[in-house]
Amino acid sequence: MNMPDSSRTSPEDTAAVNALRSGVMRLSRRLKHQRVDESLSPTEMSVLGTLARCGSATPGELARKEHVQPPSMTRIVALLEAKGLVRLEPHPEDRRQKVVRQTEQAEAMLEESRRKRNAWLSELAGQLDEDEWATLRAAAPVLEKLAHL
């Protein structure tokens, strides 16, 4: 089901969208400060997260998934490789291409980052009452869906 176009959106829908945008942006900014490795940019962390979720990929595939230009992704992959977080391997079907794989070091760093961020979010959620927590639990799959549309 699609949300009505903006010319038919009720004031309540507009207020809800505004609150959602504002809340998600503020929470995201605060969550980004809960990093394990301050030397990595948010984009580098995002690329590692994509590799963790989707598995190995070519730099071109990563560029599409991350919504960046291929030359930018080439630079990002080179930085991650220099830090020992990814390795480039020959593509199994096209020897002209490389496949980017995360290393065990990256997996461990991502796990620690998830642990730290989850602990921070759990602490925040502990300040909610039972009804608010139930609402947030119910909204979590919807927010996840929106993040990947």
Query: pLDDT (tens digit, 9 = 90+) per residue, 45-75?
Result: 899 999 999 999 999 999 999 999 999 999 9
DSSP state letters, 116-130:
HHHHHHHHHHTTS-H
Q: Which among 60, 51, 50, 64 is positioned nearest to 97, based on CA atoms?
A: 60
The mean pLDDT of 117-127, rounded to a whole number, is 93
Residue 1 has pLDDT above 50, yes or no: no
Instruction: Please give the domain boundaries of the chain with CATH numbers for all domains.
Output: 38-147 (1.10.10.10)
pLDDT at position 4 is 52
| One-letter amino acid of 67 | H
What pTM does this model have?
0.72
